[in-house]
Amino acid sequence: MTCPSCGSTPPPLARFCPECGAAVLRRCLSCGAALGAGHRFCASCGARAEDGPEQEPQPAQSERRVSSVLFGDLVGFTALSESRDPEEVRELLSGYFDRCRDVVARYGGTIEKFIGDAVMAVWGVPVAHEDDAERAVRAGLDLVEVVTAFGERAAVPDLSMRVGVVTSEVAVTLGATQQGMVAGDAVNTAARVQAKAEPGEVWVDEQTRALTAAAIGYEPAGSHALKGKTEPVVLHRATAVMGGVGGEGRELGVEAPLVGRRRELGLLKDLYQAASEDGRGRLLVVTGAPGVGKTRLGWELQKYTDGLSAVVWWHWGRCPAYGDGIAYSALSAALRRRIGVDETTEQAPVQRERLRRHLAEIVPDAAERDWLEPRLSVLLGGEDGFGREDLFTAWLTWFERISRGGDPVVWVIDDAHHADDGLLDFVEHLVGAARFPLLLVLLAREELLERRPRLAASRRGTVIGLEGLRPETMAQLLDALVVDLPPRVRDQLVEVAEGVPLYAVETVRALLDRGMVVDDGSHRRLAPGVDAARLVEVGAPTSLQMLIASRLDALPADQRELLQHASVLGNSFTLGGLAAVSGRSPRQVADTAEALAGRDLIARVADRFSPDFGRYAFVQALVRQVAYRTQSKQARLIRHLAAADYLKTQAETSGELVAVVAQHLGDARELMAAGDPRAAALTDDLVEWLVRSGQRAASLGVPGEASSFYVQALAHAPDGPARARLTVLAAQAALDAGHWDQASALSSGLHESDPVDLRAQAATIRATTHRLHGRPADGQRELAPFLERTGELSAATASGLLRIAARADGELGDVVHGRPLAEEGLRRAEETGDPVLIGWALNDLAVLIFFTDLQRVGVAILDGAIAYCSEHRATGPLVAVLFNRAIASFTRDVREALRFYERALELSRQAADAWSAWLTTASLSVARIITGRWDDDANDETAWLYEAVTAENAFFGALHDALGALRALLRGEPPTEDLFPVDEALLDAAGPDTVQEVALMRLVRGRITGRLPETALRLAEQTVSEREQYGSTVEWFPFLWSTAVDWLIEAGTPEDLAAARQAVEIVAAGPGRRPPAVEAELLRLRATLALADSATADLEAVERDLRQAIPALEAYGAEPDRARAQALLGRLLREHGRADEGLLAEAGETFARIA
């Protein structure tokens, strides 16, 4: 395989020549057919790519084609090269070449050649696309930005590039070797157009401008005499990308040029490329005040990705300001746009059918499609009740399937400060869990990070805080918007605008409204005869809101009133909805909407990827806010009621509108006078829709939002059974959301006259909160009145109550009494047929049986529960079962435990279950240390998920640090104080359920502070006394004890060795059957201590112990300790003139692998 351009021999599978950058065409050695990059077999003959006799190179073929030729040259490089070391110049030039190749390849072009510091690239050769000219200009605009940024990073601030692009017919030589691929007048012309361009600019010929004007903004660059041309050539300066490919989505009104944001946009592009290259998720949070340019950055990213040659799956969503608590609204919008449905016009069956077709396209496995469909349908308004972990797993899988094995996925969420907590949880989960190229962008005001500060600390996240533009940049913006704006007026507007670009745009819109500025098609100019003093008056309002209000005041009455109706509906709306709310005919609404669009107050959304595609939307949220605030209370009341009536008809097909209806009704209720005769009916209506909103939030796995809706409904609900049911719903949602005290308080609000089933549910909630607070006895007292009445309860209620009662018995040490309760709970769960309830019941019964000395039976039930929960995708109980199964194996077969922990961690990651992920990670880390996988740490791969736990809980944060310190000490790092500083009071205050976690931290502190002897003795006593029992996990103790003894033996002082012997004797003398881990470590440690005093050692006993310890440690899975035993025995054998039996070599290999 040779390069068709320079004749060099690229490496196998290369797509581009490393010498000149030209595209490389690989051919099958058997039949000569072309091979794609990375193909291992020929698609024509089936031969391996490397098999067969080498073919003779195909003769070059000449053709005539229309091609876009780009010629770029560095400015200032010649002078730079004269003043720098040649090696430094070479490295700088190499970096420049790399960036040129990246940009050209990104837009599907081909590097023809580098000539010194100039680059020539072509589009339309060897493969043509209908947008080749547009790709070339986009690449040129990117190149000048990339070179400027490269110069700044390389401390060459004056480095820049100028680019010329020409589109014309050229002679093409396909398969050319050691000669140019493209020849003709266009090549020379492109070089000469480039020479005329100013540094940092892209100039094009008339043909290129005509082909690309829909998507690219241009300014005239004049007519120029070019060498070889008889007539002057008209040239144009490309200013910016104005839309998607072919101009799709381009704004027709006032679009300001992007100024002062070059670095921010460059970072946005870099993050996209980073996500594409590493195949993982990336998060970008863009914050700033209203009007500062957040949405504009998102639009620039969309234009950028739309022009790339790669397939990019783009999604844009918005969190509506109206309708607090619309769970996952931005995700629902992304799904709807992807499957092509409008929730306001298409019925639920149509939406489901579109979803099925979409899944058939992206999911080849029928079983997976059947599993995904109902969980995605929840976002379309379905009421299927799934756990949050189940939904998160399904939604993550949907994005993965969209990526189709490597295509980049981009999801931009605008107004993210209005996002519900559930959506933000999913955002964090998606970014951390994604194993495909993903860039997720949140556009929000600063309060988002105040509310969710960990977004700023995310390991895969970046934050851009947009400040106001500098005065000189604002002046540049205003000059671009109005070409002959008087300097005095411009400077005053700059001062008032305070760096907000939207102020400049709104000012120009106000001038256009009043006829003081006219648009002649190429520029906006002052209207003839306009007095400059009047311009100052227009710019007089001292705030952006006042400026917008002055624009609205100038509207005709019918336009202003319709805009107010629209502001009640929300940021976006349909003309049908606006007609229904305003009472006007569709024709009147359409005409008035067009007039408002002509004034740049609203706009028809033309972006096919926007969730508002085909609707009208306010051009800025501030316009809507001002239009809403100018209405009287009575007008708002009437319009909110009209909006609610209209949206009720749409809510059946769009579940997310349920919460919007509730908010309209709530706003109307607040505006309505107490004595209004409509108040009672309105209140009943409000309660109904708040309950429906809560039910939808609960079905989406957002219990916090659900609880909020239910509590709001309780504020208006009358007494009676309906209120009791609502109270239990609110309490359960609060419990699920982790609001334990609120759940307890709400569940205490029922009366003796309320139905027994509801009172039993409330008691179960209170008992659960007592257990979570470490008060199982109080929980038992709550449940006692209902345990004799379980036959009166529904199966689901009885199952939950019996399970919690059994858990409380186990935690109080009465496992025997708890076991029949757990068995009855399983029987009642079976009646429901609910896999989640059955899974939890199996887990609880297995754990109770395990701790009644029927451990094999308990393990068998756990294995059965794993199979059942896996089959039915009951993720919540499955994580718990896997965790308990790992505990059962930990001191018997740590490798088996490791497999269960890893599966539990993966499920926790998929389900965004932070607490389970952290608890699993901690035990997984210890298990990996025992098996010698010291560098294979779970923390790095899952920290994004549980970092909130360790940040908000000081104890678990300390445990996280202790695990890192333990690994460092085992690798031999010195035990310095800064390795693990911790407040001892934190450890003293810990409860009995964290005894092994405290022991690990005290072990590390003992090593650091020199208190290891007393620590080792305490660990030996705990290894004997802290036996496995219900409600506590003590599986780490054998490892902690043996580690402490090893460190004492390593220290080697008489005092340390005496403490080590005593620690071993304590464990050896312990009553009962010892687990395999303890038995194996006793053999090794006993032999090691004996050899510490070789003069008195019984060498036969030492050899016997070590020969027993080695297979025992191997069977257990403790590879480092097995290697220690092998090394001891090997040295012992050698010292006595015997062969070491390969023990030293095997031990050495193990230590080398671990180190």
Q: If phi over 0 gives left and psi between -120 and 50 gives alpha, with beta otherwise, what is residue 281?
A: beta
In a shared domain, residues 131 and 209: yes
In a shared domain, residues 656 and 717: yes
In a shared domain, residues 223 and 343: no
- Note the pLDDT tens digit of each residue in 993-1046: 788 899 999 999 999 999 999 999 999 998 888 655 544 457 899 999 999 999
Q: What are φ and ψ of residue 113, in 5° steps? A: -175, 160
Contact 946, 425 (CB under 8 A): no
CATH number at residue 461: 3.40.50.300
- Note the pLDDT tens digit of each residue in 748-795: 989 999 999 999 999 999 999 998 777 889 999 999 999 989 999 999
CA pair distance 176, 174, nearest whole angstrom: 5
CA pair distance 328, 379, nearest whole angstrom: 8
Whether 541 has a pLDDT exceeding 70, the answer reads no
41 in any annotated domain: yes
CATH number at residue 229: 3.30.70.1230
Q: What pairs with residue 517 in β-bridges?
A: 526
Closest C-alpha among 594, 604, 642, 601 to residue 624: 601
687 in any annotated domain: yes
832 in any annotated domain: no
CA pair distance 879, 867, nearest whole angstrom: 12
Predicted local distance difference test score (pLDDT) of residue 1127: 93
Contact 1099, 1137 (CB under 8 A): no
875 in any annotated domain: no
Predicted local distance difference test score (pLDDT) of residue 168: 87
More confident residue, 475 or 348: 475
680 in any annotated domain: yes
Predicted local distance difference test score (pLDDT) of residue 7: 46
Predicted local distance difference test score (pLDDT) of residue 1000: 94
What amino acid is encoded at 408 in this protein? P
CATH number at residue 585: 1.10.10.10
In a shared domain, residues 588 and 694: no
Whether 360 has a pLDDT exceeding 60, the answer reads yes
Mean pLDDT, rounded, for 589-618: 78
In percent, how much of the chain has pLDDT > 90?
Answer: 34
> Tokens in use for 53?
């006799």
Query: Total structural domains in the chain?
Result: 7
211 in any annotated domain: yes
Predicted local distance difference test score (pLDDT) of residue 1031: 46
Predicted local distance difference test score (pLDDT) of residue 701: 75
pTM, two decimal places: 0.69
Domain carrying residue 625? 555-631
Mean pLDDT, rounded, for 853-865: 89
The mean-pLDDT minimum among 194-208, 291-305, 1081-1095 falls in 291-305
**pLDDT band for position 611 (cuts 50, 70, 90):** low
More confident residue, 227 or 59: 227
Domain end residue (candidates: 706, 724, 754): 754
Closest C-alpha among 445, 147, 407 to residue 291: 445
- Note the pLDDT tens digit of each residue in 97-132: 888 998 898 888 888 888 888 899 998 877 778 888
Whether 559 has a pLDDT exceeding 50, the answer reads yes
Mean pLDDT, rounded, for 311-326: 75
Contact 503, 547 (CB under 8 A): yes
Predicted local distance difference test score (pLDDT) of residue 41: 54
CA pair distance 587, 608, nearest whole angstrom: 25
- Note the pLDDT tens digit of each residue in 929-953: 999 887 654 444 455 455 555 565 7
In a shared domain, residues 332 and 345: yes
The mean-pLDDT minimum among 654-658, 717-721, 859-863 falls in 654-658
Whether 535 has a pLDDT exceeding 70, the answer reads no
**pLDDT band for position 400 (cuts 50, 70, 90):** very high
In a shared domain, residues 458 and 529: no
CATH number at residue 720: 1.25.40.10
CATH number at residue 1048: 1.25.40
682-693 per-residue burial string, b: 16 or more CB within 10 A, e: under 16: bbebbbebbbbb
Predicted local distance difference test score (pLDDT) of residue 911: 65
In a shared domain, residues 446 and 474: no
> Tokens in use for 17?
């020549």
- Note the pLDDT tens digit of each residue in 720-761: 888 999 999 999 988 888 788 899 999 998 999 999 999 999
**pLDDT band for position 833 (cuts 50, 70, 90):** very high
160 in any annotated domain: yes
* Start-to-end CA span in the chain (Å): 43
Contact 184, 171 (CB under 8 A): yes
Contact 727, 750 (CB under 8 A): yes
501 in any annotated domain: yes
In a shared domain, residues 708 and 612: no
- Note the pLDDT tens digit of each residue in 458-502: 778 889 988 888 888 888 888 888 887 778 878 877 877 778 888
Whether 668 has a pLDDT exceeding 70, the answer reads yes
Whether 1122 has a pLDDT exceeding 80, the answer reads yes
Predicted local distance difference test score (pLDDT) of residue 61: 58
In a shared domain, residues 977 and 1094: yes
> Tokens in use for 134?
């547009």
**pLDDT band for position 540 (cuts 50, 70, 90):** very low
CA pair distance 460, 733, nearest whole angstrom: 31
Domain end residue (candidates: 200, 215, 247): 247
Predicted local distance difference test score (pLDDT) of residue 1068: 92
Query: Which residue in this structure is represented by tokens 């005239």?
Result: 220
> Over the chain, what is the mean pLDDT?
83
In a shared domain, residues 463 and 497: no
In a shared domain, residues 129 and 69: yes
Predicted local distance difference test score (pLDDT) of residue 17: 54
Contact 990, 1002 (CB under 8 A): no
Domain end residue (candidates: 754, 777, 794): 754
In percent, how much of the chain has pLDDT > 70?
Answer: 86
> Tokens in use for 443?
């556009």
Cis peptide before 408 (omega within 30 of 0): no
> Tokens in use for 495?
């001062």
Contact 1027, 1078 (CB under 8 A): no
In a shared domain, residues 976 and 1071: yes
